[in-house]
Structure 1
């Protein structure tokens, strides 16, 4: 049975500082967990007995990518990996470091490796490195010179090259729940060594929960808010009041990345809520994206696309409403124009749905690619000159308005090499119910007319 490796004492931690320096560090840094037991959240990944936890506690660390939102514990976990493995910890930021910095850190790690000591190299925001910079780590990971730990808030599948991904395990970290953040805030209030314990700070449990919710899954942000509140409370006898919280939480914002993983997840949620005829969910996701700073014109364009793709001819009014909402926003701006977008989102979600026109268009495009430059039938060609008439252009064309019923049923409108095709299949919802009834009659009558014409040709040949 393998023995569990115990973490080193606090003074030996890679992130430990002397007491005078501790006083200058932010609360969030001072309260950084010193063991896996002190980490909050990430129960799925670090639960007792889990594969990753067993490996870390035994000091068997491997190169990995930590993917998760801000403040969920990526840096802390990297520090703990080095601590439990008794390895040196080095950190670089892809925002601040270039290839020369990377080469220097790797050279130092190679020297330590030659001396029998491992290095955990933590690369923050690794997705900001380009391909050449990412490739620089590959031989060192393969040789074991470094234990590579990359942290990213973006989807590694899109942002990291396949060579790096193939050499690392991807661990997904989740936003920390409000309950777990509240527990971290309590610990900071009680800890006299690193936290706010002994300062006489008084705060209601409900206030802690409010701070935790405002942090939006980010433990670091929650501790920063608590620290600001405590500083303000010092002028009020040490009590964090409702008025204190109003000042601290006045400019709260939600997690949103304009153009990143969350952005695409949320626009997908909005589109699928409308497609699922759930106006309540649709208006919620619209509000989330506007609250996060998404460009309202982008949302107006996407709503217009939904009107075409998912409502289509089941309710042709939807497209005009989407265009009108777009125009309204451009005229009014926020916040008045936001209501126009909300109104059209609710309408699109509530009305009848059909993707029949969308599917017909895709099938027609596929046939265009398959059949290439198929010739236009002679009877459909225009004949503005005498020569063209002599060549048979427009010969046999039936002017539908002159035919009984207004439709020349035995006249084809497709290239001869293709024959008749059926792309548009109306659904039995909304206006398309009536369109379907009409087209079913016409298509049936055309089929009978073509069959009769075929029998007539056979008779003439006989």
Structure 2
């Protein structure tokens, strides 16, 4: 029975880089990591990536490959005392490796306790983190480590993991298992190899318990075990583009209810949190713009926040931003303005910068008239000089027409007071 064994993900843990599924940029022949292992001189490193993509496995493979003493700590349950005990042991050995899982959870003093040992080579540190090390690891420690970015496993790699487990695991290979459907397994796993293997094992065990002789893994069987409904959403297919289109159009149409529904569809389908957040930043400028400049600030903050936090908590942050953007007044005036300006550039070419606007850092340039007659706006009443700032050939051309929103009407009124009839505001 599978329940009496170690979990399938642990039983399938590879012992060499060539057997690791995924992360080919790190493990392939002649990669930096592979060469370092072959030379026996492995640098201290931070392995940064989502859960279940091979961070712990790579640490074990490195230690086994170079036959180094191996110590392991979890930052959740360990403190400075535990670190110092291991460092004392490592001083009596050569080339000891200390693997710290979730190193981002260590505070500054805990990370500082590692500094001297890493610098002197007492230990080779391998830290694993799901968070951006630029934000979560002390700069001094980070500067002494190589950072390797690991990626979520894609659909083909997850399929490979499933097929390997059916052929190589002693328990599964002794059963008559058919993978009829794998979509639910892939969607629920979210690129996490450990999660997909353990879910496969639970599903097969459940089917065995039902007395089935031929074990047929279907989406329905997986969902029965997972106790959740999953939107079977192809992130690269037509539905992906249809849903993101519906999402953007719902926000543009000022319907927060529809917008948050399409957001939920993407989240349940395992859409990349950064993809959604990027679209919000673009939308805030393209569709709201100066009708509410705070929209771009919130969208940018949302992008930064979800990049650091990830799922599942990011859904709350995304929902706040989406409902706000959908509820804002809309304007595409700044978006239209840059389009008009680019068309003018394409049609008129590289028009010369007027002499009075040119920089004049040298005496020669000043003698040539660079910067002459430039009027410094702050020297004038209202901080406005009324000078011409466009090339002579397109002088007076209006590219930006504020939209009909309260904030933009204020901008239009201000610009009209300054420029009178020049731009016809």
Contact 1:141 1:167 in 2 (8 A): yes
Of the candidates 90, 103, 116, which is equivalent to residue 126 of structure 1?
103
CA gap of 1:287–1:23, structure 2 versus 1, over 3 A, is: closer
- Number of residue pairs matched? 317
Partner of 2:61: 80
Superposition pairs for residues 284-295 of structure 1, below 5 Å?
Answer: 286-287=263-264
Q: What corresponds to 1:92 in structure 2?
A: 73
Q: Alignment partner for residue 240 of structure 1, among 192, 216, 224?
A: 216
Provide the rounded CA distance (Å) in 1 between the counterparts of 2:121 and 2:413. Answer: 71
Hey, what's the Cα distance between the residues in 2 that align with 1:33 and 1:339? 39
User: For the structure 1 residues 315 and 169, does the alpha-carbon distance in structure 2 shift closer, same or farther, using more than 3 Å as the test?
Assistant: closer
Which residue does 2:339 correspond to in 1?
Answer: none
Q: Check if 1:196 corresponds to 2:172.
A: yes
Question: Is 1:419 aligned to 2:399, yes or no?
Answer: no
Match of 1:428 in 2: 401
Between the aligned partners of 1:162 and 1:339, the Cα distance in structure 2 is 33
Give the greater-gyration-radius structure (CA).
Answer: 1
**Measured at CA, do residues 67 and 233 of structure 1 come closer, stay the same or move farther in structure 2, by a change above 3 Å?**
same
> Residues 374-411 of structure 1: CA distance to partner in whole angstroms, max 9, x if unpaired?
xxxxxxxxxxxxxxxxxxxxxxxxxxxxxxxxxxxxxx
Q: Structure 1 residues 166, 315: closer, same or farther in 2, change over 3 A? A: closer
Is 1:37 matched up with 2:18? Answer: yes
Q: Distance in 2 between the 1:349 and 1:224 partners? A: 47
1:67 corresponds to: 48
1:71-107 deviation digits (Å, cap 9, x = unpaired): 0100000001101111121110000111111111111
What is aligned with 1:223?
197
TM-score calculated relative to the size of structure 2: 0.62
Q: What RMSD, in angstroms, separates the aligned Cα atoms of the two structures?
A: 4.7
Describe the shift of the 1:41–1:313 C-alpha distance in structure 2 as closer, same or farther (beyond 3 A). Answer: closer
1:442 to 408, 417, 420: 417
**Aligned-pair distance for 1:59?**
2.4
> Where does the alignment leave 5 or more consecutive residues of structure 2 unmatched?
232-243, 270-275, 296-317, 336-377, 386-397
Q: Which runs of 5+ in 1 are unaligned?
A: 1-19, 255-268, 293-298, 319-337, 356-415, 448-462
Q: 2:139 aligns with which of 162, 165, 169?
A: 162
Match in the other structure for 2:360: none
Deviations 1:400-437 (A, max 9, x none): xxxxxxxxxxxxxxxx98621359x9932532787777
1:184 to 149, 158, 161: 161
- Evaluate the alpha carbon distance shift between residue 21 and residue 311 of structure 1 in structure 2; reply closer, same or farther with a 3 A threshold: closer
